[in-house]
Amino acid sequence: MSKTIQEINEKLKKGKAVVFTAEEAVQMAKEQGVAECAKKIDVVTAATFGAMCSSGAVLNFGHSEPPIRMSEITLNGVEAYGGLAAVDTYIGATQPGKNTGIEYGGAHVIEDLIAGKEVELVARSCGSDCYTRKDIKTNISLADMNQAYIFNPRNAYQNYAAATNTTKKTKRTYMGTLLANMGNITYSTSGEMSPLLKDPKLRTIGIGTRILLCGGEGYVVFEGTQAINKATELPSGDMHYAGYTLAVMGDMKGMSSEYIKAATFEGYGVSMYVGIGVPIPVIDEDMMADLAVPNEKLYTYVCDYGFSSRSREEIKRVSYAQLRSGQVEIGAKKIRTAPLSSLFKARKIAGELKEKLLDGSFEMTQPAAMLPHRDSMNVLNIKGEK
Partner 1 sequence: MENKCIKIGLTFPPEKADKPIVTNLVKYGLTFNILRAYISPGKTGNIILEISGSDDDIKRSLEYIEAQGIVVKIYTDSVIHYEEKCMHCGACTSVCPSGALVMNKETWELEFNMDKCLLCGHCVRACPARAIKSFDEAII
Residues annotated catalytic, as ranges: 130
Min dist CB 29 to partner 1, Å, is 21
Query: Is 342 among the residues that bind partner 1 (CB under 8 A)?
Result: yes
In the chain, helix, strand, coil percent, each to 5? 20, 35, 40
Identity of the amino acid at 329? E
User: For residues 73-132, which are near partner 1 according to CB under 8 A?
Assistant: 103
Q: State which residue, 180 or 207, has the beta carbon closest to partner 1.
A: 180
Residue 59 and residue 186: Cα distance in Å, rounded? Answer: 34
C-beta closer to partner 1: residue 194 or 204: 194
Which has the closest alpha carbon to 220: 47, 58, 367? Answer: 367
Using CB under 8 A as the binding criterion, the count of chain residues that bind partner 1 stands at 30
Binding residue (CB under 8 A) for partner 1 from 273, 299, 301, 362: 273
Neighbours of 237 (CB within 10 A): 7
Q: At closest approach, how far in Å is the CB of 169 from partner 1?
A: 15
- Burial classification of residue 369, based on how many CB atoms lie within 10 Å of its CB (0-12 exposed, 13-18 middle, 19 or more buried): exposed
321 near partner 1, rule: CB under 8 A: no
Does 343 contact partner 1 by CB under 8 A? Answer: yes
> Which residues neighbour 272 within 8 Å (Cβ) at sequence distance 6 or greater?
51, 52, 53, 55, 93, 94, 106, 107, 110, 111, 260, 261, 262, 263
261 part of the interface to partner 1, by CB under 8 A: yes
Q: How far apart are CA 22 and CA 190, in angstroms?
A: 11
Q: Is 344 in the site for partner 1 (CB under 8 A)?
A: yes
Our CB check for partner 1 shows the closer of 61 and 157 to be 157
Query: Could you say whether residue 156 binds partner 1 (CB under 8 A)?
Result: no
Which residue from 95, 159, 184, 322 is in contact with partner 1, where contact means CB under 8 A?
A: 184
Q: Coil, strand, or helix at residue 209?
A: coil
- x/- string (CB under 8 A) for partner 1, residues 295-314? --------------------
Burial 298-328, CB ≥16 within 10 A → b, else e: bbbbbbbbbeeeeebeebbebbbebbeeeeb
Q: Which stretch binds partner 1 (CB under 8 A): 33-41, 236-244, 266-274, 304-312?
A: 266-274
Choose between 73 and 272: whose C-beta lies nearer to partner 1: 272
Choice between 60 and 264, CB closer to partner 1: 264
**Residue 59 amino acid letter:** L
Q: Is 179 in the site for partner 1 (CB under 8 A)?
A: yes
Q: Should residue 368 be labelled a site residue for partner 1 when binding is judged by CB under 8 A?
A: no
Rounded distance between C-alpha atoms, residue 319 and residue 336, angstroms: 15
Q: How far apart are CA 361 and CA 356, in angstroms?
A: 5
Residue 150: which H helix or E strand, with range? Answer: strand 148-155
Window 30-59: contact mask with partner 1 (x via CB under 8 A): -------------------xxx--------
Question: In angstroms, rounded to a whole number, what is the distance separating the alpha carbons of residues 106 and 2?
Answer: 45
The residue among 64 and 177 lying less far from partner 1, judged by its C-beta, is 177
Least distance from C-beta 168 to partner 1, angstroms?
A: 17
Binding residues for partner 1 (CB under 8 A): 49-51, 103, 176-177, 179, 184, 186, 261-266, 271, 273, 324, 326, 336-345, 347
